[in-house]
Amino acid sequence: MPSHTLNVRVPEKLWGFVQEQVGDRYETPSEFIRELIRNEEARTQQLSQFNNYLETLADYDKSDISTVSMDDIINSDG
């Protein structure tokens, strides 16, 4: 898969955080940035799925909900 180069400028405070991550969990800053992008992509997809779920719930016709209890159904003649 072809790759592209991305140059990113970060303030000193963020650079310190990147360096900590590289020392602890990642071998290079590039590896850390790639992981951040993958995580954001996954989070965006999850948020989209959640929003679709909420829209489905909002569109649900509440008039289809029965107010009859289970006792009423069991004790009915029908």
Q: What is the residue-level pLDDT of the chain in tens, covering all 78 positions?
A: 889 999 999 999 999 999 999 988 999 999 999 999 999 999 999 999 999 999 888 877 666 677 788 888 888 775
Integer Cα distance of 33 and 45 in angstroms: 19
Burial 29-46 (b: 16+ CB within 10 A, else e): eeebbeeeeeeeeeeeee
Integer Cα distance of 74 and 71 in angstroms: 5
Domains of the chain: total: 1
Give pLDDT, residue 77. 72
Residue 49 forms part of a structural domain: yes
Residue 32 forms part of a structural domain: yes
Give pLDDT, residue 24. 85
Residue 76 forms part of a structural domain: no
Domain that holds residue 40: 12-57
